[in-house]
Structure 1
Amino acid sequence: FALHEAYDFIASLGIDVPKHELIADTDALEKRLAAIGREYSSRVVLKIASPDIHHKAEIGGVAIVENKPETLRAKFAEMLASAKKARPEARIDGVLLMEMVEIEQELILSLIDDATFGHVLSIGKGGTLTEIFKDIALHPAPVAGGDIEKMLRSLKTWPLLEGYRGAKGADIGAITAFAEKIAALARKNGDSPLGDFEIAEFEINPLVTTKDGRVLPIDSILRFREAKKIAPESAHPNLTNLDKLFKPQTIAVVGASDTPQKMGGAILGLL
Protein backbone atom coordinates (compact mmCIF):
# COMPACT_ATOMS: atom_id res chain seq x y z
CA PHE A 1 0.00 0.00 0.00
CA ALA A 2 1.11 3.56 -0.67
CA LEU A 3 1.41 5.89 2.33
CA HIS A 4 -1.88 7.69 1.66
CA GLU A 5 -3.64 4.29 1.57
CA ALA A 6 -1.95 3.29 4.84
CA TYR A 7 -3.15 6.59 6.35
CA ASP A 8 -6.72 5.76 5.31
CA PHE A 9 -6.46 2.39 7.07
CA ILE A 10 -4.90 3.89 10.21
CA ALA A 11 -7.59 6.59 10.36
CA SER A 12 -10.27 3.88 10.09
CA LEU A 13 -8.93 2.51 13.40
CA GLY A 14 -9.76 5.80 15.09
CA ILE A 15 -6.12 6.95 15.13
CA ASP A 16 -5.00 10.49 14.36
CA VAL A 17 -2.89 10.92 11.20
CA PRO A 18 -1.13 13.99 9.81
CA LYS A 19 -3.20 16.35 7.69
CA HIS A 20 -2.48 15.35 4.11
CA GLU A 21 -3.79 15.12 0.58
CA LEU A 22 -2.82 13.19 -2.54
CA ILE A 23 -2.07 15.32 -5.59
CA ALA A 24 -2.14 13.14 -8.69
CA ASP A 25 -0.71 15.50 -11.32
CA THR A 26 0.14 19.11 -12.17
CA ASP A 27 -3.47 19.93 -13.10
CA ALA A 28 -4.65 18.78 -9.67
CA LEU A 29 -1.90 20.84 -8.04
CA GLU A 30 -2.94 24.01 -9.88
CA LYS A 31 -6.53 23.59 -8.73
CA ARG A 32 -5.44 23.24 -5.10
CA LEU A 33 -2.62 25.82 -4.86
CA ALA A 34 -4.70 28.65 -3.41
CA ALA A 35 -6.40 26.37 -0.87
CA ILE A 36 -3.08 24.80 0.16
CA GLY A 37 -1.75 28.28 0.89
CA ARG A 38 -4.69 28.93 3.23
CA GLU A 39 -5.05 25.51 4.85
CA TYR A 40 -1.43 24.61 5.61
CA SER A 41 1.38 26.37 7.47
CA SER A 42 4.31 28.20 5.87
CA ARG A 43 6.18 24.94 5.26
CA VAL A 44 4.85 21.58 4.04
CA VAL A 45 6.22 18.10 3.38
CA LEU A 46 6.10 16.46 -0.04
CA LYS A 47 6.52 12.69 -0.49
CA ILE A 48 6.34 10.61 -3.62
CA ALA A 49 3.20 8.44 -3.42
CA SER A 50 4.02 4.88 -4.43
CA PRO A 51 3.49 1.44 -2.86
CA ASP A 52 6.67 0.26 -4.59
CA ILE A 53 9.09 2.89 -3.25
CA HIS A 54 9.85 2.54 0.47
CA HIS A 55 13.16 4.41 0.77
CA LYS A 56 11.86 7.62 -0.76
CA ALA A 57 14.65 9.93 0.39
CA GLU A 58 17.22 7.93 -1.57
CA ILE A 59 15.60 8.91 -4.89
CA GLY A 60 14.70 12.49 -3.99
CA GLY A 61 11.18 11.48 -3.03
CA VAL A 62 10.94 13.50 0.21
CA ALA A 63 11.22 17.26 0.63
CA ILE A 64 10.32 20.02 3.07
CA VAL A 65 9.42 23.14 1.10
CA GLU A 66 7.99 26.60 1.55
CA ASN A 67 4.26 26.80 1.00
CA LYS A 68 4.49 29.08 -2.02
CA PRO A 69 2.96 28.36 -5.44
CA GLU A 70 6.21 28.66 -7.41
CA THR A 71 8.10 26.45 -4.94
CA LEU A 72 5.40 23.79 -4.89
CA ARG A 73 5.18 23.72 -8.69
CA ALA A 74 8.93 23.30 -9.11
CA LYS A 75 9.42 20.65 -6.43
CA PHE A 76 6.32 18.71 -7.51
CA ALA A 77 7.59 18.40 -11.10
CA GLU A 78 11.14 17.62 -9.97
CA MET A 79 10.00 14.89 -7.56
CA LEU A 80 7.79 13.13 -10.10
CA ALA A 81 10.53 13.22 -12.75
CA SER A 82 13.15 11.92 -10.31
CA ALA A 83 10.96 9.03 -9.14
CA LYS A 84 10.01 7.97 -12.67
CA LYS A 85 13.65 8.03 -13.74
CA ALA A 86 14.90 6.09 -10.70
CA ARG A 87 12.05 3.57 -10.61
CA PRO A 88 10.40 3.40 -14.04
CA GLU A 89 8.63 0.15 -13.14
CA ALA A 90 7.03 1.55 -9.97
CA ARG A 91 3.37 2.49 -9.61
CA ILE A 92 3.35 6.21 -8.86
CA ASP A 93 0.06 7.72 -7.69
CA GLY A 94 1.33 11.29 -7.51
CA VAL A 95 2.76 13.31 -4.63
CA LEU A 96 1.50 13.30 -1.05
CA LEU A 97 1.38 16.77 0.51
CA MET A 98 1.49 16.72 4.32
CA GLU A 99 1.43 19.16 7.19
CA MET A 100 4.77 19.99 8.81
CA VAL A 101 4.90 18.84 12.44
CA GLU A 102 7.40 19.66 15.17
CA ILE A 103 8.83 16.33 16.29
CA GLU A 104 10.03 15.58 19.81
CA GLN A 105 10.49 11.79 19.90
CA GLU A 106 10.75 9.17 17.15
CA LEU A 107 9.76 5.52 17.62
CA ILE A 108 9.32 2.47 15.42
CA LEU A 109 6.21 0.33 15.89
CA SER A 110 5.48 -2.84 13.95
CA LEU A 111 3.22 -5.85 13.86
CA ILE A 112 4.70 -8.66 11.77
CA ASP A 113 3.48 -12.21 11.24
CA ASP A 114 6.48 -14.37 12.10
CA ALA A 115 6.52 -17.84 10.55
CA THR A 116 7.33 -19.43 13.93
CA PHE A 117 5.75 -17.19 16.56
CA GLY A 118 2.77 -15.73 14.72
CA HIS A 119 2.01 -12.03 15.12
CA VAL A 120 4.73 -10.21 17.05
CA LEU A 121 4.54 -6.58 18.17
CA SER A 122 7.77 -4.60 18.36
CA ILE A 123 8.47 -1.07 19.53
CA GLY A 124 11.69 0.85 19.94
CA LYS A 125 13.86 3.78 18.94
CA GLY A 126 12.80 4.87 15.46
CA GLY A 127 13.60 7.28 12.68
CA THR A 128 16.78 7.20 10.62
CA LEU A 129 18.75 5.94 13.64
CA THR A 130 16.81 2.69 14.05
CA GLU A 131 19.58 0.51 12.63
CA ILE A 132 22.26 2.29 14.67
CA PHE A 133 20.55 2.07 18.07
CA LYS A 134 19.00 -1.39 17.49
CA ASP A 135 16.92 -0.68 20.58
CA ILE A 136 13.80 -2.79 20.09
CA ALA A 137 11.45 -4.66 22.43
CA LEU A 138 9.29 -7.52 21.15
CA HIS A 139 6.19 -9.30 22.43
CA PRO A 140 4.17 -12.07 20.78
CA ALA A 141 0.43 -11.53 20.53
CA PRO A 142 -1.78 -11.12 22.45
CA VAL A 143 -0.42 -7.85 23.82
CA ALA A 144 -2.13 -5.71 26.48
CA GLY A 145 -1.52 -2.11 27.51
CA GLY A 146 0.54 -3.16 30.52
CA ASP A 147 2.76 -5.25 28.28
CA ILE A 148 3.40 -2.28 26.00
CA GLU A 149 4.47 -0.02 28.85
CA LYS A 150 6.84 -2.74 30.08
CA MET A 151 8.27 -2.97 26.56
CA LEU A 152 8.87 0.79 26.52
CA ARG A 153 10.50 0.72 29.96
CA SER A 154 12.84 -2.06 28.82
CA LEU A 155 14.38 0.12 26.10
CA LYS A 156 17.85 1.57 26.55
CA THR A 157 16.38 4.85 25.32
CA TRP A 158 13.56 4.81 27.90
CA PRO A 159 15.13 7.78 29.79
CA LEU A 160 14.62 9.91 26.66
CA LEU A 161 10.93 9.00 26.59
CA GLU A 162 10.57 9.57 30.32
CA GLY A 163 12.26 12.98 30.13
CA TYR A 164 16.04 13.08 30.47
CA ARG A 165 17.72 15.79 32.58
CA GLY A 166 14.66 17.96 32.84
CA ALA A 167 13.58 17.57 29.22
CA LYS A 168 9.88 17.13 28.54
CA GLY A 169 8.88 13.47 28.56
CA ALA A 170 6.66 11.79 25.98
CA ASP A 171 3.01 11.01 26.63
CA ILE A 172 3.48 7.32 27.48
CA GLY A 173 -0.26 6.80 27.84
CA ALA A 174 -0.90 8.11 24.32
CA ILE A 175 1.90 5.98 22.85
CA THR A 176 0.55 2.92 24.64
CA ALA A 177 -3.00 3.58 23.43
CA PHE A 178 -1.75 3.91 19.85
CA ALA A 179 0.24 0.66 20.09
CA GLU A 180 -2.74 -1.17 21.64
CA LYS A 181 -4.85 -0.40 18.56
CA ILE A 182 -2.15 -1.83 16.31
CA ALA A 183 -1.70 -4.89 18.54
CA ALA A 184 -5.46 -5.51 18.34
CA LEU A 185 -5.02 -6.34 14.64
CA ALA A 186 -3.23 -9.61 15.51
CA ARG A 187 -4.96 -12.97 15.22
CA LYS A 188 -7.00 -14.06 18.24
CA ASN A 189 -7.65 -17.76 18.82
CA GLY A 190 -6.66 -18.42 15.24
CA ASP A 191 -9.03 -15.83 13.75
CA SER A 192 -8.19 -12.50 12.11
CA PRO A 193 -10.08 -9.42 13.37
CA LEU A 194 -10.06 -8.25 9.74
CA GLY A 195 -12.19 -11.16 8.51
CA ASP A 196 -10.91 -12.71 5.29
CA PHE A 197 -7.66 -10.73 5.45
CA GLU A 198 -4.90 -10.33 8.01
CA ILE A 199 -1.79 -8.28 8.63
CA ALA A 200 1.34 -9.70 7.01
CA GLU A 201 3.49 -6.66 7.83
CA PHE A 202 2.59 -3.32 9.38
CA GLU A 203 5.48 -1.02 10.21
CA ILE A 204 5.26 2.60 11.28
CA ASN A 205 8.61 4.39 11.24
CA PRO A 206 8.77 6.93 12.52
CA LEU A 207 5.91 7.08 14.97
CA VAL A 208 6.43 10.52 16.47
CA THR A 209 5.40 12.57 19.45
CA THR A 210 5.00 16.25 18.67
CA LYS A 211 5.46 19.47 20.58
CA ASP A 212 1.70 20.02 20.58
CA GLY A 213 1.10 16.65 22.28
CA ARG A 214 0.07 14.45 19.36
CA VAL A 215 1.22 10.92 18.52
CA LEU A 216 1.39 10.56 14.74
CA PRO A 217 2.46 7.96 12.17
CA ILE A 218 4.76 9.68 9.68
CA ASP A 219 5.72 6.82 7.38
CA SER A 220 4.38 3.30 7.07
CA ILE A 221 4.68 -0.04 5.29
CA LEU A 222 1.42 -2.00 5.18
CA ARG A 223 0.84 -5.41 3.63
CA PHE A 224 -2.26 -7.60 3.93
CA ARG A 225 -2.78 -11.18 2.84
CA GLU A 226 -5.56 -13.72 2.83
CA ALA A 227 -6.22 -14.89 6.38
CA LYS A 228 -4.72 -18.22 7.38
CA LYS A 229 -7.07 -20.94 8.54
CA ILE A 230 -5.71 -22.03 11.92
CA ALA A 231 -7.44 -24.72 13.97
CA PRO A 232 -8.41 -23.40 17.44
CA GLU A 233 -6.46 -26.16 19.20
CA SER A 234 -3.26 -25.23 17.34
CA ALA A 235 -3.61 -21.54 18.22
CA HIS A 236 -2.63 -22.31 21.84
CA PRO A 237 0.58 -24.08 22.86
CA ASN A 238 0.49 -27.20 25.02
CA LEU A 239 1.68 -26.05 28.45
CA THR A 240 1.18 -29.33 30.32
CA ASN A 241 4.88 -30.23 30.39
CA LEU A 242 7.51 -27.51 30.14
CA ASP A 243 10.41 -29.48 31.63
CA LYS A 244 12.04 -29.97 28.24
CA LEU A 245 11.96 -26.21 27.72
CA PHE A 246 13.17 -25.05 31.13
CA LYS A 247 15.35 -28.04 32.07
CA PRO A 248 16.99 -29.12 28.81
CA GLN A 249 19.95 -31.50 28.83
CA THR A 250 21.32 -29.93 25.64
CA ILE A 251 20.49 -26.93 23.46
CA ALA A 252 20.87 -26.63 19.69
CA VAL A 253 20.41 -23.31 17.90
CA VAL A 254 19.44 -23.79 14.25
CA GLY A 255 18.70 -20.97 11.83
CA ALA A 256 18.10 -18.25 14.44
CA SER A 257 18.73 -14.70 13.27
CA ASP A 258 21.31 -12.60 15.12
CA THR A 259 19.18 -9.52 14.43
CA PRO A 260 17.78 -8.36 17.80
CA GLN A 261 14.67 -6.88 16.14
CA LYS A 262 13.54 -10.40 15.20
CA MET A 263 11.93 -12.82 17.64
CA GLY A 264 14.51 -15.55 17.04
CA GLY A 265 17.33 -13.08 17.60
CA ALA A 266 15.75 -11.85 20.83
CA ILE A 267 15.52 -15.41 22.19
CA LEU A 268 19.08 -16.18 21.07
CA GLY A 269 20.31 -13.17 23.04
CA LEU A 270 18.72 -14.54 26.21
CA LEU A 271 20.40 -17.96 26.06
Structure 2
Amino acid sequence: MERSRAVALVEEVLGRLVDGHGEWPLSLVREVYVFGSFARGALQPGDVDLNVEIDRDDRWRAWFIDAMTAGHDPYVRFRQAFVGRKRLVQFMFSGLDGADFPMTLLWRRGDDLNTALGRLAEIKADPDAGRAERHAMLPQFEGLDHWVSRFHREHFVAAIDSGAITVERVTLAEAEPRHLAHPVVEDHLWDRWPTTSPLYRAAGAVFAYLIDRGVDPAKLHLHGKDVRAGKTPYYAGFSLRYLRAMQWCFTDYGGREWIEVVHPTKRGDIHALRVLPASVEKLKELEWLRS
Protein backbone atom coordinates (compact mmCIF):
# COMPACT_ATOMS: atom_id res chain seq x y z
CA MET A 1 0.00 0.00 0.00
CA GLU A 2 1.04 3.63 -0.37
CA ARG A 3 2.98 5.07 2.54
CA SER A 4 0.41 7.84 2.94
CA ARG A 5 -2.26 5.20 3.53
CA ALA A 6 -0.07 3.51 6.14
CA VAL A 7 0.47 6.83 7.93
CA ALA A 8 -3.28 7.42 8.01
CA LEU A 9 -3.84 3.98 9.54
CA VAL A 10 -1.31 4.63 12.31
CA GLU A 11 -2.86 8.02 12.98
CA GLU A 12 -6.25 6.32 13.35
CA VAL A 13 -4.83 3.77 15.80
CA LEU A 14 -3.25 6.49 17.91
CA GLY A 15 -6.42 8.59 17.86
CA ARG A 16 -8.55 5.66 19.01
CA LEU A 17 -6.02 4.81 21.72
CA VAL A 18 -5.93 8.32 23.16
CA ASP A 19 -9.71 8.74 22.95
CA GLY A 20 -10.44 5.37 24.53
CA HIS A 21 -7.60 5.01 26.99
CA GLY A 22 -9.94 5.50 29.94
CA GLU A 23 -11.93 2.41 28.96
CA TRP A 24 -11.02 -1.26 29.23
CA PRO A 25 -9.10 -2.87 27.56
CA LEU A 26 -7.32 0.19 26.09
CA SER A 27 -6.72 1.32 29.66
CA LEU A 28 -4.25 -1.57 29.93
CA VAL A 29 -2.03 -0.25 27.12
CA ARG A 30 1.31 1.03 28.40
CA GLU A 31 3.26 1.68 25.18
CA VAL A 32 2.89 1.36 21.42
CA TYR A 33 5.82 0.82 19.05
CA VAL A 34 6.07 0.59 15.29
CA PHE A 35 8.50 -1.76 13.52
CA GLY A 36 9.03 -3.46 10.20
CA SER A 37 9.14 -1.98 6.71
CA PHE A 38 7.04 1.08 7.57
CA ALA A 39 9.34 2.00 10.46
CA ARG A 40 12.34 1.67 8.15
CA GLY A 41 10.79 4.17 5.75
CA ALA A 42 9.56 1.89 2.96
CA LEU A 43 7.53 3.72 0.34
CA GLN A 44 5.27 0.71 -0.25
CA PRO A 45 4.96 -1.19 3.04
CA GLY A 46 2.95 -4.37 2.80
CA ASP A 47 1.25 -3.53 6.09
CA VAL A 48 1.92 -1.69 9.33
CA ASP A 49 3.46 -3.63 12.22
CA LEU A 50 2.69 -2.38 15.72
CA ASN A 51 3.83 -3.79 19.04
CA VAL A 52 1.55 -3.08 22.00
CA GLU A 53 2.88 -3.40 25.55
CA ILE A 54 0.09 -4.00 28.04
CA ASP A 55 -0.44 -4.36 31.76
CA ARG A 56 -2.51 -7.26 33.06
CA ASP A 57 -5.23 -6.84 35.66
CA ASP A 58 -7.55 -9.46 37.16
CA ARG A 59 -10.19 -8.79 34.53
CA TRP A 60 -7.67 -9.37 31.74
CA ARG A 61 -6.41 -12.60 33.34
CA ALA A 62 -9.96 -13.95 33.57
CA TRP A 63 -10.74 -12.86 30.00
CA PHE A 64 -7.50 -14.41 28.72
CA ILE A 65 -8.18 -17.79 30.39
CA ASP A 66 -11.77 -17.90 29.16
CA ALA A 67 -10.77 -17.00 25.60
CA MET A 68 -7.92 -19.51 25.42
CA THR A 69 -10.11 -22.25 26.91
CA ALA A 70 -12.69 -21.60 24.20
CA GLY A 71 -10.00 -21.51 21.51
CA HIS A 72 -10.47 -17.81 20.77
CA ASP A 73 -7.86 -15.10 20.34
CA PRO A 74 -7.89 -13.09 23.60
CA TYR A 75 -6.30 -10.09 21.90
CA VAL A 76 -9.17 -9.58 19.48
CA ARG A 77 -10.65 -7.01 21.88
CA PHE A 78 -7.58 -4.84 21.41
CA ARG A 79 -7.57 -5.23 17.63
CA GLN A 80 -11.20 -4.27 17.35
CA ALA A 81 -10.69 -1.26 19.60
CA PHE A 82 -7.71 -0.11 17.52
CA VAL A 83 -8.81 -0.74 13.93
CA GLY A 84 -12.23 -2.35 13.85
CA ARG A 85 -12.21 -4.82 10.95
CA LYS A 86 -9.33 -3.32 8.97
CA ARG A 87 -6.65 -5.87 8.09
CA LEU A 88 -3.69 -3.74 7.04
CA VAL A 89 -2.38 -3.29 10.59
CA GLN A 90 -0.60 -6.27 12.18
CA PHE A 91 -0.36 -6.32 15.97
CA MET A 92 2.14 -7.98 18.24
CA PHE A 93 1.54 -7.88 21.98
CA SER A 94 4.21 -7.59 24.69
CA GLY A 95 6.95 -8.42 22.21
CA LEU A 96 9.47 -5.78 23.18
CA ASP A 97 11.72 -7.94 25.34
CA GLY A 98 12.01 -10.80 22.86
CA ALA A 99 12.22 -8.76 19.65
CA ASP A 100 15.25 -9.29 17.41
CA PHE A 101 14.60 -6.09 15.43
CA PRO A 102 14.43 -2.37 16.25
CA MET A 103 11.20 -0.77 17.40
CA THR A 104 10.29 2.91 17.40
CA LEU A 105 8.22 4.31 20.25
CA LEU A 106 5.04 6.09 19.18
CA TRP A 107 3.07 6.47 22.40
CA ARG A 108 3.61 5.97 26.12
CA ARG A 109 0.97 6.18 28.84
CA GLY A 110 0.49 9.85 29.71
CA ASP A 111 1.32 11.14 26.21
CA ASP A 112 -1.23 13.23 24.37
CA LEU A 113 -2.12 12.67 20.72
CA ASN A 114 0.11 15.48 19.43
CA THR A 115 3.15 13.92 21.09
CA ALA A 116 2.45 10.57 19.46
CA LEU A 117 1.78 12.12 16.05
CA GLY A 118 5.01 14.08 16.37
CA ARG A 119 6.97 10.85 16.85
CA LEU A 120 5.18 9.36 13.85
CA ALA A 121 6.12 12.36 11.71
CA GLU A 122 9.79 11.88 12.64
CA ILE A 123 9.81 8.54 10.77
CA LYS A 124 10.92 9.66 7.33
CA ALA A 125 10.37 7.91 4.04
CA ASP A 126 13.45 6.13 2.68
CA PRO A 127 13.40 4.97 -0.97
CA ASP A 128 16.29 2.60 -0.21
CA ALA A 129 14.63 0.89 2.77
CA GLY A 130 14.73 -2.88 2.42
CA ARG A 131 14.04 -5.88 4.55
CA ALA A 132 15.86 -5.94 7.88
CA GLU A 133 18.53 -8.53 8.54
CA ARG A 134 17.22 -11.59 10.36
CA HIS A 135 19.32 -13.51 12.85
CA ALA A 136 19.46 -17.20 13.77
CA MET A 137 17.59 -18.18 10.62
CA LEU A 138 17.34 -21.65 9.14
CA PRO A 139 15.32 -22.82 6.13
CA GLN A 140 12.89 -24.43 8.58
CA PHE A 141 11.94 -20.98 9.89
CA GLU A 142 11.38 -19.22 6.57
CA GLY A 143 8.02 -17.49 6.65
CA LEU A 144 7.55 -18.37 10.32
CA ASP A 145 9.96 -15.88 11.88
CA HIS A 146 7.08 -13.53 12.73
CA TRP A 147 5.89 -16.16 15.24
CA VAL A 148 9.18 -17.86 16.13
CA SER A 149 11.16 -15.15 17.88
CA ARG A 150 14.92 -14.75 17.71
CA PHE A 151 15.07 -16.01 21.31
CA HIS A 152 13.49 -19.33 20.29
CA ARG A 153 15.39 -19.56 17.00
CA GLU A 154 18.73 -19.15 18.75
CA HIS A 155 17.92 -22.01 21.12
CA PHE A 156 16.84 -24.22 18.24
CA VAL A 157 20.01 -23.45 16.30
CA ALA A 158 22.22 -24.15 19.33
CA ALA A 159 20.44 -27.45 19.98
CA ILE A 160 20.75 -28.50 16.33
CA ASP A 161 24.42 -27.49 16.10
CA SER A 162 25.23 -29.46 19.26
CA GLY A 163 23.73 -32.61 17.81
CA ALA A 164 21.00 -32.78 20.47
CA ILE A 165 17.98 -32.56 18.13
CA THR A 166 16.93 -32.45 14.51
CA VAL A 167 14.20 -30.12 13.27
CA GLU A 168 12.11 -30.66 10.15
CA ARG A 169 9.54 -28.28 8.68
CA VAL A 170 6.25 -30.01 7.87
CA THR A 171 2.90 -28.89 6.53
CA LEU A 172 0.16 -30.88 8.19
CA ALA A 173 -2.83 -32.05 6.22
CA GLU A 174 -6.35 -31.16 7.29
CA ALA A 175 -7.95 -33.86 9.41
CA GLU A 176 -10.54 -35.93 7.57
CA PRO A 177 -13.82 -37.19 9.09
CA ARG A 178 -12.26 -40.64 9.59
CA HIS A 179 -9.53 -39.14 11.76
CA LEU A 180 -11.94 -37.10 13.87
CA ALA A 181 -14.21 -40.13 14.26
CA HIS A 182 -11.43 -42.20 15.81
CA PRO A 183 -12.76 -43.00 19.31
CA VAL A 184 -9.65 -41.70 21.09
CA VAL A 185 -9.61 -38.49 19.07
CA GLU A 186 -13.33 -37.89 19.33
CA ASP A 187 -13.29 -38.44 23.09
CA HIS A 188 -10.37 -36.05 23.63
CA LEU A 189 -11.63 -33.25 21.42
CA TRP A 190 -15.28 -33.48 22.44
CA ASP A 191 -15.14 -30.86 25.21
CA ARG A 192 -11.70 -29.35 24.79
CA TRP A 193 -12.17 -26.86 21.95
CA PRO A 194 -15.15 -25.81 19.82
CA THR A 195 -15.01 -27.09 16.26
CA THR A 196 -14.61 -23.52 14.99
CA SER A 197 -11.40 -22.97 16.99
CA PRO A 198 -8.02 -22.83 15.22
CA LEU A 199 -6.71 -25.01 18.07
CA TYR A 200 -9.30 -27.69 17.24
CA ARG A 201 -8.15 -27.58 13.63
CA ALA A 202 -4.48 -27.83 14.63
CA ALA A 203 -5.21 -30.70 17.03
CA GLY A 204 -7.09 -32.60 14.35
CA ALA A 205 -4.18 -32.17 11.95
CA VAL A 206 -1.72 -33.49 14.55
CA PHE A 207 -3.92 -36.52 15.23
CA ALA A 208 -4.25 -37.17 11.50
CA TYR A 209 -0.49 -36.92 11.02
CA LEU A 210 0.13 -39.54 13.71
CA ILE A 211 -2.72 -41.88 12.74
CA ASP A 212 -1.63 -41.95 9.10
CA ARG A 213 1.82 -43.05 10.26
CA GLY A 214 0.40 -45.86 12.39
CA VAL A 215 0.91 -44.13 15.74
CA ASP A 216 -1.66 -44.77 18.46
CA PRO A 217 -3.20 -41.33 19.23
CA ALA A 218 -3.62 -42.40 22.87
CA LYS A 219 0.16 -42.08 23.21
CA LEU A 220 0.06 -38.33 22.58
CA HIS A 221 0.48 -35.51 25.08
CA LEU A 222 -1.36 -32.67 23.34
CA HIS A 223 -0.88 -29.03 24.26
CA GLY A 224 -0.40 -29.59 27.96
CA LYS A 225 -2.68 -32.61 28.46
CA ASP A 226 -2.34 -36.38 28.08
CA VAL A 227 -4.80 -37.76 25.58
CA ARG A 228 -5.05 -40.91 27.69
CA ALA A 229 -3.41 -41.89 30.97
CA GLY A 230 -0.16 -43.79 30.62
CA LYS A 231 3.09 -43.28 28.74
CA THR A 232 3.05 -40.54 26.11
CA PRO A 233 6.20 -40.65 23.99
CA TYR A 234 4.64 -38.29 21.44
CA TYR A 235 4.18 -34.59 22.18
CA ALA A 236 2.53 -31.69 20.37
CA GLY A 237 2.01 -28.04 21.20
CA PHE A 238 0.67 -24.85 19.67
CA SER A 239 2.15 -21.35 19.42
CA LEU A 240 5.29 -22.39 21.38
CA ARG A 241 3.33 -22.20 24.64
CA TYR A 242 4.75 -25.41 26.12
CA LEU A 243 8.04 -25.51 24.25
CA ARG A 244 10.06 -25.05 27.45
CA ALA A 245 8.99 -28.56 28.47
CA MET A 246 10.44 -30.21 25.38
CA GLN A 247 13.88 -30.85 26.86
CA TRP A 248 12.70 -32.93 29.82
CA CYS A 249 9.99 -34.60 27.78
CA PHE A 250 12.82 -36.06 25.73
CA THR A 251 15.30 -36.64 28.56
CA ASP A 252 13.03 -37.72 31.44
CA TYR A 253 9.87 -39.10 29.83
CA GLY A 254 11.14 -41.06 26.85
CA GLY A 255 9.85 -38.61 24.26
CA ARG A 256 10.31 -39.71 20.65
CA GLU A 257 8.88 -36.73 18.80
CA TRP A 258 7.57 -33.20 19.31
CA ILE A 259 5.28 -31.49 16.79
CA GLU A 260 4.90 -27.73 17.21
CA VAL A 261 2.15 -26.03 15.24
CA VAL A 262 3.70 -22.59 15.16
CA HIS A 263 0.64 -20.47 14.43
CA PRO A 264 -2.75 -22.21 14.45
CA THR A 265 -5.24 -20.60 12.08
CA LYS A 266 -8.80 -21.23 10.96
CA ARG A 267 -7.74 -21.55 7.32
CA GLY A 268 -4.63 -21.83 5.18
CA ASP A 269 -1.61 -24.09 5.56
CA ILE A 270 -0.92 -25.69 8.93
CA HIS A 271 2.81 -25.13 9.41
CA ALA A 272 4.65 -27.14 12.03
CA LEU A 273 8.12 -27.98 13.26
CA ARG A 274 8.83 -31.67 13.84
CA VAL A 275 11.54 -32.08 16.47
CA LEU A 276 13.30 -35.40 17.09
CA PRO A 277 15.85 -36.17 19.82
CA ALA A 278 19.24 -37.00 18.34
CA SER A 279 21.22 -37.42 21.59
CA VAL A 280 19.68 -37.61 25.05
CA GLU A 281 23.05 -36.95 26.65
CA LYS A 282 23.55 -33.78 24.65
CA LEU A 283 19.98 -32.75 25.39
CA LYS A 284 20.73 -32.98 29.11
CA GLU A 285 23.63 -30.55 28.65
CA LEU A 286 21.56 -27.89 26.88
CA GLU A 287 20.64 -24.52 28.35
CA TRP A 288 17.22 -24.91 26.79
CA LEU A 289 14.88 -21.91 27.07
CA ARG A 290 15.88 -21.21 30.65
CA SER A 291 16.55 -17.52 30.34
TM-score (norm 2): 0.28
Which structure's residues are more often strand, by fraction? 1
TM-score (norm 1): 0.30
